[in-house]
Structure 1
Amino acid sequence: KVDTNRDGFDIDCCKNVRITGCSVNSPWDDAIVLKASYALGSFRDTENVTISDCYVTGYDRGTMLDATWQRDEPQAPDHGYVTGRIKLGTESSGGFKNIAITNCIFERCRGLALETVDGGQLEDIVISNITMRDIVNAPFFLRLGKRMRSPEGTPVGSMKRILISNVNIFNADSRYSSIISGVPGAWIEDVTFSNIHIYHQGGYTAEDGKRIPPENEKTYPEPWMFGIIPAKGFYIRHVQGVTLDNVHFHYEQSDGRPLFVTDDAEKVVYRNITVDGEGYNN
């Protein structure tokens, strides 16, 4: 058990790592975070990592250990509500390869984040059997960016071959929906979501659906970098090859935004999509 105001586990430039059976409460920072920084003076991947049977949360510090589960402190230092999630990035000069995350629970925290913004290759990722509850930002946030905290001349990285399946998300904040976003000239590729239920709070309007999010190519990656998202389900930009199969959306309040918004997106496939039990027609 880890109960802290910093990252619970930082795994940086490591290979052949197993994290199993851990409970991590970290309201101000990430619970379990993989990094691939340039701190050792060379490009090194974090690879061959499994994370399984873990519980990550953002309750007030110390209240997981004493089992009071308090919610009096709503903000992390970045003012983005509590953190407490599993994340790949942001330090990403090296890459992330052969990562498997399974049988984990997120509660009162941010959603799953996969980020490569410093030139690293993030590829061959499998995530399955996840349940999330009381999620304070995007349930899924996939970001390929150009922050480039790496030696000058480092090329932009890549994100590809990602499978996410068997996920149930209840009471997710609807401001940012779910986001899959590369940058102009650098696309996220070959991502599949399957067997997903997302229960959103809803409450946004058709006018919100007209927004055009800024690119913010070099900004620190968090969902709020784009403002309120114009889609109520998924915002998909600068991608080649995204499949959503058997994905179901539920809304506590009505939401006037379109379910999906795509921009500079090729080979996007929707199969068996429903909204509050009704079939969705693209």
Structure 2
Amino acid sequence: MKRRWILILCLVCCLGANAQIKGYDYNILTYGASADSLQINTQAINQAIESASQNGGGRVVIPAGTFRTGTIFLKDNVELHLSNGARLEASDNYADFPLIPPASYRSLKDAGGWTSIIYAEGAHNIRITGPGTIDGKGKGKKGRVSGVAGDCNGRPRNILFISCRNVTVSDITMLNSAIWNQHYLNCEDVLVTNTHVFNHGNGNNDGIDIDGCRRFVLSNSVIDSDDDGIVLKSTGEAPCENILIHNCVVSSFANAIKCGTESTGGFKNISITDCIVTPSRFAGQRTIKSTPTGITALSLEIVDGGVMDGVSIHNILIQGTACPLYVRLGNRGRKHIESAPTPPVGQMRNINISNITAYGTGNFCSSISGIPQQKIENIYLNNIRLVNKGGLTEGNFLTRELIEGVRHDMAKNMFPDKYWASFRDVIEDEKGYPQPTVWRNLPSYGLFMRNVEKVEVNNCSFISESPDPRTPLVAVNVNELLLNGITVGDAEKAGVILHNVPVKLVDSRLNVRVEE
């Protein structure tokens, strides 16, 4: 019933966001734009948008050709249409991208001010349509704001919409932004569909960031990104709520489909269906990230406060990523702005994951892990098939001394041939960056569960392509555990290790070992 309600809400969103903008066409050539490679067309494009807006709305047309530009400010009731063969190309001069001060809606990511090729704040009924291309030309572009690191340092996005309503982005190709490719912050009633993203030119090259938005549909899109692919965030106080991600193909050298890391506003009623996660076709080329097959396929994370309640993930095919599933409740407790109070420990509950097939994956084990003072509640796994590579050598253990001082968040120095001997060796790291690279190869190869109130695993199989000396399943500090219809690669070994699991119903085919 809940999933049906989400779909109804999202269909309403689609109908609202996809309403036709009425008015005349405004060709940018009329306003002095030129495909001359030396001309910057920012003024001409913005004048066409202003004319359309002042006349009640209309369609601003980018004709065939390559048009270099700085920041374009999209306004109410205006559609920016990129014709067949049209290409909006970012200027190489940062002077053409004015640093926009933080908006009235504050976010962790506005520390250095905003810049973008296409920008709108507080606009309603806006559209970007194709079949043309936006090229951010972001390769090698550096930050603009001294003292601000990472994804807050003023590099231009391709698209940035803040606090906008009734938004459609469809049928376009987006290439190589200097940072995140497209960022929707505190927006409502958004439809992004039939898009193609290739984003490998720089660091922090996410494919799409849906950040504190309500009633958002992403569908029928192909995303290939150096950093995270499809990302739900809440970098401010607004939640990500009533979100549908459907029928997408995602490739990422980091995390393909992810909620987090930022979680201040939380996540509610999230539906992710009928998607494929597969390695990038460009994995052989030099990239910023060091994990060409990807770190995770599916990541759900609450680490900066907030509540995750009501997530449904269904019909996902996964090929080749290091870790198929990563569910993490931690306590990094990062503020979204300096003046905000430190967020309390967050909550995760009511997560349903079903019909997942993963093959050719690495040896990072899938995991569901809370912290001792805050457990994950009510998580259900059904009809899941995970096949990892295996091939580890028995007794080739990781040690604390081996990894001490080694940075883990960029997936370097992972010691892929080693694994932890016992669940007791796996640190909590509740303040650390949430990613399976923190733990590297866990003492299980199928599923690691720790600090969970209730978890049900039904009709699931955990198999290794090559022999794997680790235990298939480990459950630690799980109040209520149901394992039913479980298939593992080697039934003679311990199928599941249990520690502090007071209520349990375990498949009789599993060899159970209880460790005190």
Is TM-score (shorter-chain normalized) higher than 0.5? yes
Q: Displacement, 1:153? A: 4.0
Which sits farther off after the overlay, 125-134 or 145-154? 145-154
Tell me if structure 1 keeps the 8 A contact 2:228–2:255: yes
Match of 1:23 in 2: 222
Match of 2:357 in 1: 168
In the alignment, the residues of structure 1 paired with residue 222 and residue 490 of structure 2 have an alpha-carbon distance, to the nearest angstrom, of 34
1:181 partnered with 2:369: yes
In the alignment, the residues of structure 1 paired with residue 255 and residue 353 of structure 2 have an alpha-carbon distance, to the nearest angstrom, of 20
1:12 partnered with 2:211: yes
In the alignment, the residues of structure 1 paired with residue 434 and residue 377 of structure 2 have an alpha-carbon distance, to the nearest angstrom, of 18
Match of 2:233 in 1: 35
Q: Deviations over 1:130-189 (max 9, x none)?
A: 1001112x2110000111112334210001100000011010101x21111111201011
Matches within 5 A, 1:1-282: 1-5=196-200, 6-26=205-225, 28-38=226-236, 43-58=237-252, 82-83=253-254, 85-108=256-279, 109=294, 110-136=296-322, 138-150=323-335, 151-174=340-363, 176-207=364-395, 208=419, 210-211=421-422, 212-276=425-489, 279-282=509-512
**SS, match of residue 139 in structure 1:** strand
Tell me if structure 2 keeps the 8 A contact 1:216–1:226: no
- The residue type equivalent to 1:213 in the other structure is V
- Percent identity for Structure 1 against Structure 2: 37
Tell me if structure 2 keeps the 8 A contact 1:120–1:157: yes
**SS, match of residue 278 in structure 2:** strand
**SS, match of residue 199 in structure 1:** strand
Which sits farther off after the overlay, 254-263 or 184-193? 254-263
Q: Displacement, 1:204? A: 2.8
In the alignment, the residues of structure 2 paired with residue 100 and residue 198 of structure 1 have an alpha-carbon distance, to the nearest angstrom, of 21
Give the alignment's TM-score, normalised by structure 1. 0.86
- The residue type equivalent to 1:257 in the other structure is R
Q: Displacement, 1:8? A: 0.9
Tell me if structure 2 keeps the 8 A contact 1:205–1:257: no
Higher strand share: 1
- The residue type equivalent to 2:430 in the other structure is E
Runs of 5+ unmatched residues, structure 2 = 1-195, 280-293, 396-418, 492-508
Aligned residues: 252
Which sits farther off after the overlay, 193-202 or 204-213? 204-213
In the alignment, the residues of structure 2 paired with residue 210 and residue 83 of structure 1 have an alpha-carbon distance, to the nearest angstrom, of 26
Shift in CA distance, 242/84, structure 1 to aligned 2, threshold 3 Å:
closer
Tell me if structure 2 keeps the 8 A contact 1:24–1:31: yes
In the alignment, the residues of structure 2 paired with residue 227 and residue 200 of structure 1 have an alpha-carbon distance, to the nearest angstrom, of 14
- The residue type equivalent to 1:35 in the other structure is K
RMSD, aligned α-carbons: 1.5
**SS, match of residue 437 in structure 2:** helix
Q: Deviations over 1:211-264 (max 9, x none)?
A: 321111111111011232011111111111011100012211111111111221
**SS, match of residue 167 in structure 1:** strand
In the alignment, the residues of structure 2 paired with residue 177 and residue 84 of structure 1 have an alpha-carbon distance, to the nearest angstrom, of 15
Match of 2:126 in 1: none
- The residue type equivalent to 1:171 in the other structure is G
**SS, match of residue 155 in structure 1:** coil
| More relative contact order, 1 or 2 (CA 8 Å, 6+ apart) | 1
In the alignment, the residues of structure 2 paired with residue 219 and residue 49 of structure 1 have an alpha-carbon distance, to the nearest angstrom, of 27
In the alignment, the residues of structure 2 paired with residue 171 and residue 143 of structure 1 have an alpha-carbon distance, to the nearest angstrom, of 23
**SS, match of residue 276 in structure 2:** strand
Give the alignment's TM-score, normalised by structure 2. 0.47
Runs of 5+ unmatched residues, structure 1 = 59-81
Which sits farther off after the overlay, 121-130 or 197-206? 197-206
- The residue type equivalent to 2:311 in the other structure is I
